[in-house]
Structure 1
Amino acid sequence: MGDKVNAADGEVLRAAIALHPNSEEKIGCGVTHFSVRSADFGSKCFWINRPDGTTEKFSYATCIRG
């Protein structure tokens, strides 16, 4: 929890987020890195960390399902 995703796995997540139905909204002003943090109801999910300091959570399952 709270860990920064390594560069190789980050590339996989960049490809995945491009498939998300709300990818433009999720990416916003860009991606500096990804991290793993808690989400709703105590679950874990990936978070986009943007250059402006904002963050956004996303579901890899939504990326896959489209």
Structure 2
Amino acid sequence: MDDAAYPDESHDFDEALLVVDGQMNLDLSGQRVEVQAGEVFIVPAGIPHAVAPGSHGTLVIIDR
């Protein structure tokens, strides 16, 4: 993650987002959720989500 925003997307499957280091600012259906290093956030299938500005560090995306 490089401080830039990424556009909204949604999937027909759950998506796991693992922040290895840094912080991810996740826009989840209009609500901001901060995910810290070492945390995993599961985005349920069909929920629009985007990486918000100010996110930085290493993100691992786990898709089915």
TM-score norm. by structure 2 comes to 0.29
Higher RCO (C-alpha 8 Å, min separation 6): 2
* More strand by percentage: 2
With normalisation by structure 1, the TM-score equals 0.29
